[in-house]
Amino acid sequence: MQINPPYLMFLGDVPDALAAKTAAGIVDWRRDWCLGQLRLPGCQADLGIPDLTVAEAAAKGCRTMIVGIVNAGGLLNESWIATITAALEAGMDVASGLHIRLGADERIKHAAFANGRQLFDVRVTDQRFDTGKGTKRPGLRLLTVGTDCSVGKKYTALALERTMRERGLDADFRATGQTGVFISGRGVAIDAVVADFISGAVEWIAPAAAPDHWDIVEGQGSLFHPSFAGVTLGLLHGAQPDAFVVCHEPTRRAMRGVAHPLPSIGEVIDLTVRCGRLTNPAIRPVGIAVNTQQLAEADAQAYLAEAAAEHGLPATDPIRFGVAGIVDRMEAEFPRATGERAA
């Protein structure tokens, strides 16, 4: 699919910033594509870009309205329908990462047809996938894993890709969620793939490659999350990672959307290694990425130093402090030369 910028980011009436993380991710990594945001009454998220009406966005040349919302079940709310149809009537296409197809609502479907506009459902793909085979394939892969949902797995993967490319490493970000697909223009929303084919879809996303090529695979969910662990496990087996980075948010006490407490970083490392060895016996951690947004800088530095000392791994906030230390560790353990790699 070809989704055309510039974008109007539709936030609807989301209750908090995390519920607009699709829109926030696009703004963070493709700011030049985003003309403004449209928020309904009661919206509790703000992307820090201009507020625009549909008419104002159309006048500025907006080509696509992005439904940049994440909610449980990926539902299309009734309160959003009028705005979506207004965008279509104003000459915009509409793109969504929700599970429910835009065209499932007859009013949206009719408005798109009547105005000659396109509807893009990023979570829907016509690609057919095989079941995963688990056979070792050439190339190097890194997977970001989490203590919870929404802790920075995508941002960490994108930061790693950028830093690795700056160093001349051959690296590609591989999107497995709707926001990543919007950002990269390719990938598969893995949580919308039928369960039997999840690992096969990830094998397709990150196929055999040159020996020194890195695929940086965006993680999803958490092996400890009662709602999403199944997706996370299939992603781990299909990615067949040589390396992984644990992503964590230190101020959170319960996992998002459930009452279960967060696992420790150490617990995530141990379970990821145990499960990951099924398709790559040499899997190993190479770093810890901590979202320290809620911490003062001195507290953040202290937390990172403690985590690094406890686990013997470089620890950083990828947005606040960069990922140079993690890439240093990767280069040390996986030398670019075609000779022996670190044991």
Q: In this predicted structure, which of 124-133, 219-228, 246-255, 267-276 has the lowest mean pLDDT?
A: 124-133
In a domain, 171, yes or no: yes
Give the model's confidence band at 191: pLDDT under 50 very low, under 70 low, under 90 confident, else very high. confident
Instruction: Please report, for the domain that includes residue 57, its CATH number.
Output: 3.40.50.720
User: In this structure, are 38 and 101 located in the same domain?
Assistant: yes
User: In this structure, are 171 and 307 located in the same domain?
Assistant: yes
Rounded mean pLDDT of the chain?
94
User: In this structure, are 98 and 155 located in the same domain?
Assistant: no
Give the model's confidence band at 184: pLDDT under 50 very low, under 70 low, under 90 confident, else very high. confident
Q: Rounded to an integer, what distance in angstroms lies between the CA atom of residue 45 and that of residue 68?
A: 11
Residue carrying structure tokens 């995530």: 268
Q: In this predicted structure, which of 166-170, 201-205, 339-343 has the lowest mean pLDDT?
A: 339-343
C-alpha dihedral sign at 118, 119, 121, 126 = negative
User: In this structure, are 329 and 220 located in the same domain?
Assistant: yes
Reported pTM = 0.83
Give the model's confidence band at 337: pLDDT under 50 very low, under 70 low, under 90 confident, else very high. low
Residue carrying structure tokens 């980011």: 9
Type of residue at 240: Q
pLDDT given at position 341: 42
**Which tens digit of pLDDT belongs to each residue from 51-103?**
999 999 999 999 999 999 988 778 899 999 999 999 999 999 999 988 899 99
Contact at 8 Å (CB) between 124 and 178? no
Q: For residue 252, is pLDDT > 60? A: yes
When pLDDT is averaged across residues 272-300 and rounded to a whole number, the result is: 97
In a domain, 270, yes or no: yes
**Which tens digit of pLDDT belongs to each residue from 6-42?**
999 999 999 999 899 899 999 999 899 999 999 999 9
Terminal Cα distance for the chain, rounded:
42
pLDDT given at position 183: 87
pLDDT given at position 340: 41
- Domain edge (last residue) among 121, 149, 173: 121
User: In this structure, are 145 and 58 located in the same domain?
Assistant: no
pLDDT given at position 181: 87
**By percentage, how much of the chain surpasses pLDDT 90?**
85
User: In this structure, are 54 and 168 located in the same domain?
Assistant: no
In a domain, 135, yes or no: no
When pLDDT is averaged across residues 124-148 and rounded to a whole number, the result is: 93
What's the domain count of the chain?
A: 2
User: In this structure, are 70 and 155 located in the same domain?
Assistant: no
User: In this structure, are 205 and 325 located in the same domain?
Assistant: yes
Instruction: Please report, for the domain that includes residue 177, its CATH number.
Output: 3.40.50.300
Q: For residue 178, is pLDDT > 90? A: no
Contact at 8 Å (CB) between 232 and 244? no
- Domain edge (last residue) among 86, 121, 156: 121
In a domain, 133, yes or no: no
User: In this structure, are 77 and 210 located in the same domain?
Assistant: no
Q: How many CB atoms sit inside 10 A of residue 337's CB?
A: 8
When pLDDT is averaged across residues 299-313 and rounded to a whole number, the result is: 98
Rounded alpha-carbon distances, angstroms, from residue 12 to 42, 80, 82, 117: 9, 6, 11, 21
User: In this structure, are 202 and 56 located in the same domain?
Assistant: no
Residues near 113 by Cβ (< 8 Å), separated by ≥ 6?
none
Closest-CA residue to 10 (of 31, 35, 39): 39
- Domain edge (last residue) among 89, 121, 153: 121
In a domain, 40, yes or no: yes
pLDDT given at position 339: 40
When pLDDT is averaged across residues 127-143 and rounded to a whole number, the result is: 95
In a domain, 342, yes or no: no
pLDDT given at position 170: 97
Contact at 8 Å (CB) between 159 and 218? no
pLDDT given at position 331: 97
pLDDT given at position 192: 86
Q: For residue 199, is pLDDT > 90? A: yes
Give the model's confidence band at 1: pLDDT under 50 very low, under 70 low, under 90 confident, else very high. low
In a domain, 228, yes or no: yes
Q: How many CB atoms sit inside 10 A of residue 177's CB?
A: 27
**Which tens digit of pLDDT belongs to each residue from 258-273?**
999 999 999 999 999 9
User: In this structure, are 75 and 146 located in the same domain?
Assistant: no
User: In this structure, are 194 and 108 located in the same domain?
Assistant: no
pLDDT given at position 343: 38
**By percentage, how much of the chain surpasses pLDDT 70?**
98
Residues near 53 by Cβ (< 8 Å), separated by ≥ 6?
38
Q: Which domain holds residue 222?
A: 140-333
In a domain, 130, yes or no: no
Closest-CA residue to 64 (of 39, 98, 87, 83): 87
Contact at 8 Å (CB) between 10 and 83? yes
